[in-house]
Amino acid sequence: MNLYYVLYKPYGYLSKFTDEGKHKGLLHLINVPKEVYPVGRLDVDSEGLLILTNDNFLKHRLTTPQFRHKRVYAVQVDGQATQVHINLLKQGVQISVEGKAYKTLPPHSVRILEDVHFPERIPPVRFRKNIPTSWIELVLTEGKNRQVRRMTAAVGIPTLRLIRTAIENISITNFAEGELRAMSKSEIYTQLNLSVS
């Protein structure tokens, strides 16, 4: 039987069950059947939505680059994000992927976020009195390694905190950090805009 879960992964956890070095795996956080695995990745220093399943078709659809799907990120950046930064990001930016220059696809959307209510991160993001921080929302349809961080750094506003808030219409709004929710196949496929066979 196929199983589906949505997790709000906190900062400091790997997107796999086993530990690696000083970093904890998801085994310390959740308990799911052993055939269920995370789809895709969120770096240890990133937070937010992670889908877990044993549905191989869904894994293939979500991890194969040709099947583009929207990933929504709330990004706290170093400095005050301006319309100039937003316009640069909208065009797609030059980053390095595996040592090679790569021009990112133009994002689905980018905007400055004015009113942000996320729980404080533990440990907190560094604070410098003379340098403001601000938040942007970036919606991508591709997922290169550390792409969001590379993109914001390329336009001069390095990422301090990164939270994936949604994939297509699946959102962690109203989730607590570390919360795991089971979903049915029809729920998850509908919210991912996939047809349920």
Q: Are residues 5 and 46 in the same domain?
A: yes
Q: Are residues 119 and 174 in the same domain?
A: no
Q: Are residues 99 and 162 in the same domain?
A: yes
User: Looking at 43, 55, 78, 115, which residue is catalytic?
Assistant: 43
C-alpha distances (whole Å) from 77 to each of 33, 45, 112, 129, 134 are 37, 14, 11, 15, 5
Whether the pLDDT of residue 129 is over 80: the answer is: no
Least reliable range by pLDDT among 85-94, 116-125, 147-156? 116-125
Q: Are residues 57 and 93 in the same domain?
A: no
pLDDT of residue 189: 96
- pTM over 0.85? The answer is yes
125 against 39, higher pLDDT: 39
Q: Mean pLDDT throughout 95-123? A: 92
User: Is position 115 annotated as part of the catalytic site?
Assistant: no
Structural domain boundaries, residue 20 = 1-66+169-197
65 against 13, higher pLDDT: 13
**Do 37 and 14 form a contact (C-beta atoms < 8 A)?**
no
Q: Are residues 90 and 161 in the same domain?
A: yes
In percent, how much of the chain has pLDDT > 70?
Answer: 99
Q: Are residues 77 and 152 in the same domain?
A: yes
Q: Are residues 154 and 180 in the same domain?
A: no
Q: Mean pLDDT throughout 105-113? A: 96
pLDDT tens digit string along 164-192? Answer: 999 999 999 999 999 999 999 999 999 99
Strands 94-97 and 100-103: antiparallel
pLDDT of residue 197: 65
Q: Are residues 74 and 162 in the same domain?
A: yes
pLDDT tens digit string along 10-32? Answer: 999 999 999 999 999 999 999 99
pLDDT of residue 47: 97
pLDDT tens digit string along 27-60? Answer: 999 999 999 999 988 999 999 999 999 999 999 9
Dihedral of CA atoms 91, 132, 113, 119 in degrees, nearest 10, equals: 130
106 DSSP 8-state letter: P
Count CB atoms within 10 A of the CB of residue 42: 20
Q: Are residues 186 and 162 in the same domain?
A: no
Q: Are residues 39 and 13 in the same domain?
A: yes
Domain count, the chain: 2
